[in-house]
Amino acid sequence: MAKPNVVSKQDLIEAAKSCIAEHGMEKLTLKTVAEKANVTQGTVYYHFHTKNQLMLDVVKDVCQGSWNELSQTTAHDIDISVALQAAKERCGPDSFYHRLFLSLVVSGFTHQEIRQELGQLIAFENSMLSEKIRELVGDGPDSRVMGISPETWAVIMNAIIDGLAVQSLVSSDFDRERTFAELAFFFQQVLKKKQPE
C-alpha cells in the first residue's frame, strides 16, 4: 500500500536519482519515481508536471550539492586537481549528470522555460566559480589573470567542463584521465601567475 501523499520534493528527487542509478536515465518516468518513493503518480505530478521538470530539478540538486560542498572550504584550501576530480566524475560515461544536463539543453531549444532555468543554473555556477577564483587571485582592479577577469575565466572553465562531458559521452577513445590531469596542470599554472603574496 502506498504511503499517504506526504512526501517532500527532495524525497522525490532522491528517488529519481536512485531510479537513474538502478535502471538508467532512459527508464526514468514519473511513474517509476512514484513506485520508488512508494507514493501515487499524482503526488509526483504535483511536484513535477513533466519529466523534463523532474530532470531539471535533479540536475539542479546535484549541481547545488557540489557547490555546497565546495563552499565549505576556502579557495586556498582547494587543490585544483581535487576540484576537477568531481567534474571528471560527472563527465564519465556512467555518470547521469551530464546526460540529463545535455538532454535538457536540447529540450531548451524548443522550451523557453527550460532554457531560462538552465540559463539561471549556469549563471549560478559561473558566479560561484568566479567567487572561488577571486578568493585565489584577489579582488579589485588587479584581479585579472592573463588579462582576463575572474568572471570570464569562470565562463571559460565551465564551458570547458561541459565540452569535455560531450566528448566523454560520444567518443569511446576519449582519455578522461589524461585530459583532466593536463587540464588541472593548466589551471594550476594559470592561477599561479596571479596568486596574491
Nearest Cα to 36, choosing from 53, 22, 19, 49? 19
Q: What residues contact residue 48 under an 8 Å CB cut-off, 6+ apart?
A: 12, 30, 54, 57
Q: How confident is the model at residue 141 (pLDDT cuts 50, 70, 90)?
A: low
Contact 30, 54 (CB under 8 A): yes
For the chain, domains (ranges, CATH) are 1-49 (1.10.10.60), 55-192 (1.10.357.10)
pTM, two decimals, is: 0.79
Predicted local confidence at residue 99, as pLDDT: 84
Give the model confidence (pLDDT) of 59-86 as tens digits.
999 888 877 776 666 555 555 666 777 7
